[in-house]
Amino acid sequence: MVDTSMPALLATKLYVPRLRVRRVLRPRLAARLREAVAYRLVLVSAPAGFGKSTLLSEWAHDCRQEGTGGMPVAWLSLDEGDNDPVRFWSYLVAALQTVQPGLGAEMAALLRAPNPPAIEAILGSLLNELATLSADCALVLDDYHAIQAGAIHRGMEFLLAHLPAPLHLVIAGHADPPLPLALLRSRGEMLELRAADLRFTPEEAAQFLNQVAGLDLTPAEVALLDARTEGWVAALQLAALSMQGEHDLHSSINGFHGSHRYVFDYLAQEILGRQPKAVQSFLLHTAGLDRLCGPLCNAVTGEGNGQAMLDQLEHTNLFLWRRRRRRCAGASTWGDNGTTQRA
């Protein structure tokens, strides 16, 4: 008897996002991603709005073009609904079947059983099939930060530990996944792209603002706006949007800052609004601090978890960066982790 209670899988979650007609080409990052074939895992980890999905979709489309030396790329866009293990692994198999029809059919059947075996046993059949592939392929798991289920992370850890050579896993998200990244890094089996890599360079910012957005900014104006946004792609897009139809672009650039209504709305809806209540409360209580440390945050919030919360925010890439060798107000001694500064 087969359990048919799980809703039908959405085919659109398996599509590589469509490319924009007008976009900034980033050959330095494309060259990095072409090295994916040499790694077990490619991790693209950065806060919202840094162009992770756009970059990977461009790479996936390039890989699929003949004569580029690429490889087939399977794609899965994840969301909160995929925290059900049966649903997650069913989607993963379906994604792989877009590049190799029939792959994982046995695993898919086992997942639909009323009482499926342990995921390690089910994954064994998939891994054996993947080992027989005659050519390399990649699987992109986009927005992996949406996955919170420990059972899924344990299955992914098992998959990574036994990943056959032909398959290369690409994980993109706002935070580092709870996987053995340190081990993969020490073995040279992981390629990493982070916010520092994804920020627009001044040249890329100029290309976006003047060619893609259609503004006519001087090099000095581009440099000022790039410095104000620190290369954050989403902020540059919002800045360009706010300047459409403006006659005095110089004044608009000088007036563009983090409290601009477009930036505020983006931060409120896409970042703050998606955080747990405890994180929202901590961020709101400490919003007036440029530099933060555990004791100072404890004094402001009245709680005792300041350093733990800062560590959590850093892990989830919430626009903080760590400073060392600067004394933090409220700290009686230098901390091992130094202070944290808002980006």
Residue 42 lies in a domain: yes
Mean pLDDT value across residues 138-165: 96
| Residue 143: pLDDT over 50 | yes
Same domain, 307 and 221: no
119-133, 201-215, 235-249: which is most confident = 119-133
Same domain, 103 and 225: no
CA torsion, points 149, 155, 161, 163, in degrees to nearest 10? Answer: -120
- Here the tokens at position 174 are 């706002």
Phi-psi region of 67 (alpha: psi -120 to 50; beta: other; left: phi over 0): left
pLDDT of residue 337: 41
Residue 6 lies in a domain: no
Residue 184 lies in a domain: yes
Same domain, 56 and 186: yes
Same domain, 210 and 329: no
Same domain, 108 and 191: yes
Same domain, 149 and 38: yes
How many domains does the chain contain in total? 3
Full domain range(s) for residue 119? 11-198
Q: Pick from 198, 215, 233: which residue ends a domain?
A: 198
- Cβ-based burial of 130 (10 A; exposed 0-12, middle 13-18, buried ≥19): buried
Position 169: which residue type? Answer: L
Partnered with residue 44 across adjacent β-strands are 172, 193
Mean pLDDT value across residues 127-135: 94
Same domain, 29 and 129: yes
pTM: 0.75
Q: Pick from 267, 286, 315: which residue ends a domain?
A: 267
| Residue 268: pLDDT over 70 | no
Residue 184 CA to chain centroid, in angstroms?
Answer: 18
Q: How many CB atoms neighbour CB 6 within 10 A?
A: 12
Residue 320 lies in a domain: yes
Residue 3 lies in a domain: no
Q: Where are the alpha helices (DSSP H) in 84-199?
A: 85-97, 105-111, 119-131, 150-161, 181-186, 195-198
pLDDT of residue 217: 82
| 283 vs 277: CA distance, rounded Å | 10
Partnered with residue 194 across adjacent β-strands are 45
Residue 223 lies in a domain: yes
Same domain, 55 and 166: yes
Same domain, 38 and 66: yes
pLDDT in tens, 77-92: 999 999 999 999 999 9
Q: CA dist 136 to 132, 203, 318, 343, Å?
A: 11, 34, 34, 39
Residues 170 and 56: beta-carbon distance below 8 Å: yes
Residues 145 and 139: beta-carbon distance below 8 Å: no
Residue 294 binned pLDDT confidence (cut-offs 50, 70, 90): confident
